Amino acid sequence: MTTASGTQPVAASSSSGSGTAGLYDILELILDRGLVIDVFVRVSIVGIELIKIDIRIVIASVDTYLRFAEACNRLDLESGRKAPARLTDIVGDMVESGAKGTTNGAISGAVDGVVDAVGDFFGGDDEEKKR
Amino acid sequence: MSDAPTNPSPASPVPEPAPDPPLYVYAITGSDHPLRLDGLRTVGGIGGSLSAVVRGGLAAVVSPAPSELRPKRRDLTAHQELQERLMADGAVLPMRFGMLAPDSASVGRALEEKSEEYTRRLAELHGTTEFNLKAARAQDDLLREVLSESEEARRLNELTRDGNGTHEDRVALGELLARQVDARQRLLAGQVVQQLAGLARASVEGAPAKDDFLNVSFLVARAHAHEFTEAGQRLARDFGEGYDFRLRGPLPPYSFAA
């Protein structure tokens, strides 16, 4: 599982469903889109709500502002882009462990818990190694 | 004098009809779809028990519902792989994960009631596939961009560095940054969608997750799938470092089935 999607600029292939990284990226399609027949029961699935919450953070909160300010204060203004692979790494980590969090991002802190929960979906499967 | 009512034993000479079990519903296709279901795993892991309920020119692929259902990777993968198999041979309406029907009769009724609608939708989706694109931009780059273009942001950043400045200064800086970052992300999202929309029949935007600025699905003619993939790769190259594009497809048309 070292070939996370983020290691390539664009990962596009016909084997879209296989692999943890691929599945993670389409999780929300499988769980939250697709046809619904309203006379049927949708099994209540723990955590689907969490995935919905895992959207871009609501911008208007003092907490968010403070994290943005802190991230900005921390920037090394001299160095310009210093970590070309950073975002890619973050995505990779998230996919691999689900629990690392992304301490580099100002807006990421608030959703770490959610990523934890999403990561737990994939725990417990025999082919998934335990953290 | 019959002993049947007083004999609950399963070995009764007059066997009860097998109870019609609740069903997990995967997808709807036309009844002329070949439905090559061999070798596929089921959601819940009961192998070899996939079947189809056929009614009104339509087929619903089902299996006995598992007693407990959680979105485990194994089950999500089973759901997804079945869609991929079906879409290889024709149009498919993939169900959302986790749809349960009380019995096969109710599946038949559901097909009958919406036969026209589902048939039309299948015809519209014939020869198409879904691509999903998620995109992120390194947050530090966004912040640097804001700083380089906003004098006020630079002033507040200087004021608040190394723990200096007031709480209000900090909040003011953060609010300015948040607004600017959000505006820039929206602009980027619009640019990306615009560059690919010409190759697609339709598009649906979803809420971007985490640090992403974009989450969009495109409905693309299968004949143009390769072209679309290349366009996505070209776009990722053009945006370059500091961006992360994840293009997935060809996918079952989850976003266009409803």
Instruction: Tell me the average pLDDT across B177-190.
Output: 95
- At A35, give phi and psi (nearest 5°): -70, 140
Asked whether B52 and B59 are in contact (CB, 8 A), the reply is: yes
Question: Three-state SS for B172?
Answer: helix
- Taking contacts as CB-CB distances below 8 angstroms, the residues of chain A near B208 are 55-56
pLDDT in tens, B90-119: 999 999 999 999 999 999 999 999 999 999
Break chain B into its structural domains and give their ranges.
Answer: 23-126, 129-256
- Taking contacts as CB-CB distances below 8 angstroms, the residues of chain B near A107 are 139, 211
The DSSP line for B124-141 is HHTTEEEEEEEEEE-HHH
Token representation of residue A130? 């335990």
Which of A18, A68, A108 shows the shortest C-beta gap to B178? A68
Question: If you count residue pairs, one on A and one on B, with CB atoms under 8 Å apart, how many are there?
Answer: 262
Break chain A into its structural domains and give their ranges.
Answer: 16-122
- Taking contacts as CB-CB distances below 8 angstroms, the residues of chain B near A39 are 106, 109-110
Q: How far apart are CA A32 and CA A45, in angstroms?
A: 11
pTM of model > 0.90? no
- Taking contacts as CB-CB distances below 8 angstroms, the residues of chain B near A59 are 178-179, 182
Asked if B207's CB is within 8 angstroms of A56's CB, the reply is yes
Here the ipTM equals 0.84
pLDDT in tens, A63-89: 889 999 999 999 876 555 544 443 333
The DSSP line for chain A is ----GGGSS----S-TTSSHHHHHHHHHHHHHSSB--TTSEEPP-TTHHHHHH-BSPPS--HHHHHHHHHHHHH--TTT-S--TTHHHHHHHHHHHHS-S--TT-TTTGGGHHHHHHHHHHHTT-TTSPP-
Which of B76, B211, B232 shows the shortest C-beta gap to A12? B232
pLDDT in tens, A16-38: 444 455 778 888 899 889 999 98
* Smallest Cα distance from A20 to chain B, Å: 8
Q: Among all residues of chain A, which has the CA nearest to that of B209? A: A55
- Taking contacts as CB-CB distances below 8 angstroms, the residues of chain B near A104 are 139-140
Place B210 in a pLDDT band, splitting at 50, 70 and 90: confident
Asked if A34's CB is within 8 angstroms of B174's CB, the reply is no
Q: What is the share, in percent, of chain B residues with pLDDT greater than 70?
A: 91
Asked if B96's CB is within 8 angstroms of A30's CB, the reply is yes
Instruction: Tell me the average pLDDT across B74-86.
Output: 94
Q: Among all residues of chain B, which has the CA nearest to that of A48? A: B71
Write the CA distances from B20 to A118, B28, B49, B225, integer angstroms.
34, 20, 14, 42
